[in-house]
Structure 1
């Protein structure tokens, strides 16, 4: 299988690196010094599960030079998806599969705005990793896992085949029959800690131990449950309990990518997390005061970071 991995950051670097260890033809799209380092020395992955170095078949600077892959694994930030979709249109085959692994809940919609909906799968991943320098990925927490599935929940031959590709790379994978619900469950967890971490500028261990911050995180989660109910997504109080179990299981010094990006003055996925909750809540007449407070307090920082792009 010919696989293109777009975005060789923490997510694309780890899972793309694992795939590049197989016999599949795996190509990366990575720019600048990061791409140059991978091209010259391979991709070094430092992992709590064991370090490895992977050598992709080719490293592209842009999507302009890719050639009709069988699978495109999109591992960019959520706000970059529409641009990626526009660039992919006309460069992929009619049977190419496109699998996004972002944290937001609009990934499929953003891609299908420019690509054939029949080509797009739903997906998410679980891993905490980051770029540690040009050509280097640091996987420092969380058991890596990919969860994906057909948007309509069918268990198709192509999905089963793709499940086998991930397994051949030693990747823990789940083929879901309700990928929308799976995506929202992760969104609930991420959204509860991301904006709050950026507001407080504290590690997850500090936030979960502070009764007042913890209560605010819980209220923000309940707001997301209410929004999900209006959107026909089956999130429950049990999912909120599980989200807190995941929060309590994180290493004390963990932080979310939105927090790290905003604190570093980089564009973040704020608009796709708390911002998404605020925008959708307005459509359904749902009150989301905690998410709104987080979003509107952080929005000037986000605007400043994008002005400097």
Structure 2
């Protein structure tokens, strides 16, 4: 099966590289500037005491020459509209589109363009970032992909997807209720991102000051309340794990959104937070801490937009 990975950044680049090393037929759809970097340096993955350099097969939007069997959409939400236009020529009547974005708003955009029957739900968990040279740096061993039908249940298509994506050096699983999995990840990333944004620091920075050990748990409770009101309650053990994560003394953990914030880059503020608090308003759920983080991020976006 032909796999097209849309984006070769910290997430798409890592999983695409793993699939390539496992012998899968992988092509990366990238913008010309990223293509130049990858052709010059190769697709490099470092961190955790290892280093890998691959020669990836690259294509730009103008060079797409046919349909692919599986399209993995791995771009930030801010780049999604352009990515949808770029990848359109690669999506045919039998193509399966699997997005790896945060939140849920991206499903509406992809469904509208390609049809809901073509699009699966997806969740990825990986600890990677891009360094100044454009290389992928692993920050931890976690690497997982979960996919499922938007409507739930199983299908022959899922079995085909599992065959091509499993056994490639990362954890892979199918979810009978992928929307629940996506909501639960949304609760996690919004909690960590809001905590980092509000304290302008890591989890450990928050926990190290009086009352700081309560803030993360309070944010998690707000996000979980929105999920529950939306019909996707977070299991107690899952919520306990989120709250434990954001109350660990000495933790250097930060969300990728926060790393973009302190670097002066655009963030996924509206996709992760704006959409979440809008749903909260509709459902009558109070989210004062998430609201505060959203406002702070919107101020940031306005500032960099005016530069």
Q: Shared fold (TM-score greater than 0.5)?
A: yes
**Root-mean-square deviation (CA), in Å?**
2.2
- The 2-side partners of 1:29 and 1:250 are apart by 41
- 1:170-192 CA distances to partner (integer Å, 9 max, x unpaired)? 22111111111111111111111
- Partner residue in 2 for 1:184: 183
Distance (whole Å) between structure 1 residues aligned to residue 274 and residue 144 of structure 2: 26
Q: In the alignment, which residue of structure 2 is the partner of 1:29?
A: 29
Task: Work out whether residues 7 and 29 of structure 1, in 8 Å CA contact, stay in contact via their aligned partners in 2.
Answer: yes
Residue 53 (structure 1) aligns with = 53
Alpha-carbon distance in structure 1 between the residues aligned to 2:140 and 2:8: 18
Aligned position for 1:64: 62
Q: Distance in 1 between matches of 2:72 and 2:305?
A: 25
Tell me the SS of whatever aligns to 1:169: coil
Q: Assess if the C-alpha contact under 8 Å between 2:217 and 2:246 holds in 1.
A: no
Tell whether 2:43 aligns with 1:43.
yes
- Cα 1:305/1:142, change in 2 over 3 Å: farther
Inter-CA distance 261–38: structure 2 relative to 1 (3 Å threshold): same
Cross-structure match for 1:145: 144
Given that 2:208 and 2:250 are in contact with CA atoms closer than 8 Å, whether structure 1 keeps it comes out as no
Q: Cα distance, 1:237 vs. partner? A: 3.6
Corresponding residue of 2:169: 170
The 5 Å alignment of 1:111-130 reads: 111-130=110-129
TM-score (norm: length of structure 2): 0.91
Alpha-carbon distance, 1:105 to partner: 2.5
Distance 2:50 2:175 in 1: 27
Q: How many residues align?
A: 306
Cα pair distance change 1:68/1:78, threshold 3 Å: same
Deviations 1:83-136 (A, max 9, x none): 323443354111111111112232322211211111101011111111124451
- Classify the secondary structure of the residue corresponding to 2:27: strand
Q: How big is each residue's C-alpha offset from its partner over 1:211-242, in whole Å with a ceiling of 9 and x where there is no partner? A: 52332222222122221122111324432212
Shift of residue 33, structure 1, vs aligned partner: 4.5
Q: Gaps (5+ residues) in structure 1?
A: none
User: 2:166 aligns to what SS in structure 1?
Assistant: helix
Aligned to 1:16: 16
* Rounded Cα–Cα distance in structure 2 between residues aligned with 1:18 and 1:94: 27
Aligned to 1:276: 275
Please give the alpha-carbon distance, in whole angstroms, between the structure 2 residues aligned to 1:142 and 1:157: 31
Q: SS of 1:287's equivalent?
A: coil
Judge conservation of contact 2:206–2:213 (CA < 8 Å) in 1.
yes
* C-alpha deviation, 1:55, in angstroms: 2.2
Query: Structure 2: which 5+ residue stretches go unaligned?
Result: none
Name the structure 2 match of 1:5: 5
Distance 1:165 1:281 in 2: 38
- State which drifts further: 195-204 or 208-217: 208-217
Query: Does the CA contact (< 8 Å) of 2:195 and 2:203 recur in 1?
Result: no
Q: How has the CA–CA distance of structure 1 residues 282 and 54 changed in structure 2, closer, same or farther, with 3 Å as cutoff?
A: same
Cα separation, partners in 2 of 1:246 and 1:21, compared to 1, 3 Å: same
User: Partner of 1:114: helix, strand, or coil?
Assistant: helix
1:269, CA displacement in angstroms? 0.8
CA distance in 2, matches of 1:251, 1:139: 20
Separation (CA, whole Å) in 1 of partners of 2:114 and 2:90: 11
Aligned partners of 2:211, 2:94: CA distance in 1, in Å?
A: 51
Offset, 1:248: 5.5
TM-score by length of 1: 0.90
